[in-house]
Amino acid sequence: MNPRVKSVKPLCDYQLLLEFTNDEVGIYDCKPLLDCGVFKELQDVNYFKQVSIVGDTVAWINEQDICPDTLYLESIMVDEITAIWYETIADVNNDVDFCSSEATLVFLFGCRLKNKFQSRITKIELEYAIYDTKVWGKNARLDFYVELDSQKIGFEFKYKGNRNTTDTHINAIHDLKRLCWLKTNQKIDKGYFLYATDIKSAINEKCRVGRKRTKHLDFITHNLAKYKTSATFPVGKTGSTASEQVVNVLHDIIFDWNGWKLDNSNELVPIDKYAWLTPIII
């Protein structure tokens, strides 16, 4: 028999974050059900969020339920840290948590991680001075660092972004470059890049309205933007952010954005407060 569901959290875009009885965590997409019979009622987002555990599966108050075998077999399984990221974003988008800055986002995520893995953590740091100052500057700090099960894990976060489209892209890629540098230089075993935004220029390849980018067009973060293995990240500088170090892309990187829809001008916009990136794991 397949594992059963022991917890559920509704996400944006009609997704469910599920924890199973074998401790695996998966994301199940309910969108294919929304035009089918009794499941049409789930199109009401507020009703969809009323999902709960009934027996060994998920159900809603008007008795819609989904076969637990289907939930397990058709879910996309994610690692424990990715699950914490999805939980954090769900609570911010659902107003369970208030988030006003990148520092707050790091704090919310860090608290969840610490509470879940406290017995397995040997070190935890905010704004960790791990970068070589001769390479990255005297003010370079890693947003969040944890030693979990003897594994050194570094995190860089981006929240919202700058309204200047060029700065928004360079700042994000700068963080990815630094994580790859840390991994290459064996300062971390694994890196996570976590990004939530309400800025259209971050998730669209081209913005039809507003300020246009005029330089550094090779810095891209739009949905399905890709950096290929063995290439080098783009080099450039704008505003107060330098991205001038030459750093190799360690594996294929894809910007897979969640929680968006197309607006009337065919641009990607967040469904709720924020769209969020599937974690880029280095």
Q: Pick from 65, 62, 56, 63: which is nearest to 30 by CA? A: 65
Residue 213 reports pLDDT greater than 80: no
Both 60 and 190 in one domain: the answer is: no
Both 62 and 105 in one domain: the answer is: no
Mean pLDDT (whole number) for 157-172: 84
Both 167 and 254 in one domain: the answer is: yes
Domain coverage including residue 260: 98-281
Residues 79, 24: Cα–Cα separation, whole Å = 8
Mean pLDDT (whole number) for 256-278: 91
Q: What is the CATH number of the domain that holds 29?
A: 3.30.2020.10
Mean pLDDT (whole number) for 127-156: 94
Residue 228 lies in a domain: yes
Both 65 and 15 in one domain: the answer is: yes
Mean pLDDT (whole number) for 198-222: 79
Both 154 and 187 in one domain: the answer is: yes
Both 144 and 271 in one domain: the answer is: yes
For residue range 228-245, list pLDDT tens digits in order.
998 999 998 766 667 788
User: Roughly what angle, to the nearest 10 degrees, separates helices 80-93 and 102-117?
Assistant: 130
Q: Which band of pLDDT confidence, cut at 50, 70 and 90, is reported for residue 163?
A: confident
Beta strands in 95-169 (DSSP E): 121-128, 142-148, 151-159
Q: Which band of pLDDT confidence, cut at 50, 70 and 90, is reported for residue 208?
A: low
Query: Whole-model pTM?
Result: 0.92
Residues β-bridged to residue 16:
10, 28
Residue 90 lies in a domain: no
Mean pLDDT (whole number) for 186-211: 87
> What's the structural domain count of the chain?
2
Residue 136 reports pLDDT greater than 80: yes
Both 203 and 148 in one domain: the answer is: yes
Residues 143, 231: Cα–Cα separation, whole Å = 25
Both 244 and 189 in one domain: the answer is: yes
Q: Could you tell me how far CA 32 lies from the centroid of its own chain? A: 23
Residue 93 lies in a domain: no
For residue range 77-108, list pLDDT tens digits in order.
999 999 999 999 999 998 889 999 999 999 99
Neighbours of 22 (CB within 10 A): 10
3-state secondary structure of 187: coil
Both 132 and 272 in one domain: the answer is: yes
Both 17 and 130 in one domain: the answer is: no
Q: Tokens for 56? A: 């060994």
For residue range 18-68, list pLDDT tens digits in order.
999 999 999 999 999 999 999 999 999 899 999 999 999 999 999 899 999
Mean pLDDT (whole number) for 246-269: 93
Residues 73, 54: Cα–Cα separation, whole Å = 19
Phi-psi region of 173 (alpha: psi -120 to 50; beta: other; left: phi over 0): alpha
Both 13 and 127 in one domain: the answer is: no
Q: Which band of pLDDT confidence, cut at 50, 70 and 90, is reported for residue 207?
A: low
Residues β-bridged to residue 155:
144, 192
Both 72 and 110 in one domain: the answer is: no
Residue 86 lies in a domain: no
Interacting residues of 244 by C-beta distance below 8 A, sequence separation 6+: 235, 236, 237
Q: What percent of the chain has pLDDT over 90?
A: 74
